Amino acid sequence: MIEEILPSCVATAEAMGDLPETLLFPQEEALLAGVADKRRHEHATARACARAALGKLRVPPAPIVSGRYGAPQWPAGVVGSITHCPGYRAAAVAWKREVTTIGIDAEPHRALPEGLLELVATQADLAHLAAMAAGQPDLSWDRLLFCAKEAVYKAWFPLAGRRLDFTDVSIEFDPARTTFAANLVAEAQPAEVWSSGFGGRWLIRDGLVITAIAAAEVRVSPPGRS
């Protein structure tokens, strides 16, 4: 599914559940010491998807360990993103010479838990979601907002090297094109503004919400500049 909302230069792999007997590299196993079996199986299947996607770029299998704040550490010259949620795991990768950064996320297509929307949405987001819901009330716009912001963060972090809060970004959806635009709010980290923002696409199918960003020529201003 996810390949439908990413450019052809991005290689993807996905699984609708955990793959049996998936092996991890010792470096990956070390990071999962003491982790519950369910989480371990999710992690292993997501890594298997990542290696399958890398194989499409003819990159040989290698450990994909988690770095700062859990960000996957990709082979030299590669950018990518991983996601997993109940019933779905996926990875997307590309050569850095073709894509600057990638962010993907998947969520179950149902309303967010009570109280969570107020923690992740800006006032602009809330007004926009109300307008969207008036036109398409059967779509869980709050979950789509959350999913889009997760994709933004995953694309942002490799460039900025710093965390981005949910309320640092506002999202605008285009239902006709199933696209979204992300904009940094004026108050958020003014020294680290991307030059043109992030744009992405979204897909709802089989009980899932999937969002994806594959941005080219995105630059983050160095500290002290805006």
Measured distance CA(23)–CA(43) in Å, rounded: 11
Measured distance CA(221)–CA(225) in Å, rounded: 6
Identify the pLDDT of residue 224: 39
pTM of the model: 0.89
DSSP states of 56-122: HTTPPP----B-GGG-B-PPTTEEEEEEEETTEEEEEEEETTT-SEEEEEEEESSPPPTTTHHHH--
* CB-facing half-sphere around the CA of 203: CA atoms within 13 A: 14
Identify the pLDDT of residue 164: 83
Token representation of residue 194: 């991307």
Print burial letters for 42-60: b (CB count within 10 Å at least 16), e (below 16).
Answer: bbbbbbbbbbbbbeebebe
CA torsion sign for 194, 183, 90, 176 is negative
Measured distance CA(170)–CA(148) in Å, rounded: 10
Q: Domains in the chain and their CATH numbers?
A: 2-98 (3.90.470.20), 105-215 (3.90.470.20)
Identify the pLDDT of residue 44: 87
Tell me whether strands 169-174 and 88-95 are parallel, antiparallel or unpaired.
unpaired
CA torsion sign for 118, 122, 127, 132 is negative
Identify the pLDDT of residue 218: 61
Measured distance CA(76)–CA(79) in Å, rounded: 9
Q: Helix or strand or coil: residue 128?
A: helix
Measured distance CA(196)–CA(204) in Å, rounded: 26
Token representation of residue 70: 């859990």
Output the tens digit of pLDDT for each of the chain's 226 residues. 999 999 999 999 999 988 877 778 888 778 777 777 788 788 889 999 999 999 999 999 888 888 877 789 999 999 999 999 999 999 999 999 999 999 999 999 999 999 999 999 999 999 999 999 999 999 999 999 999 999 999 998 888 887 888 998 999 999 999 999 998 765 554 444 444 467 899 999 999 999 999 987 665 554 333 3
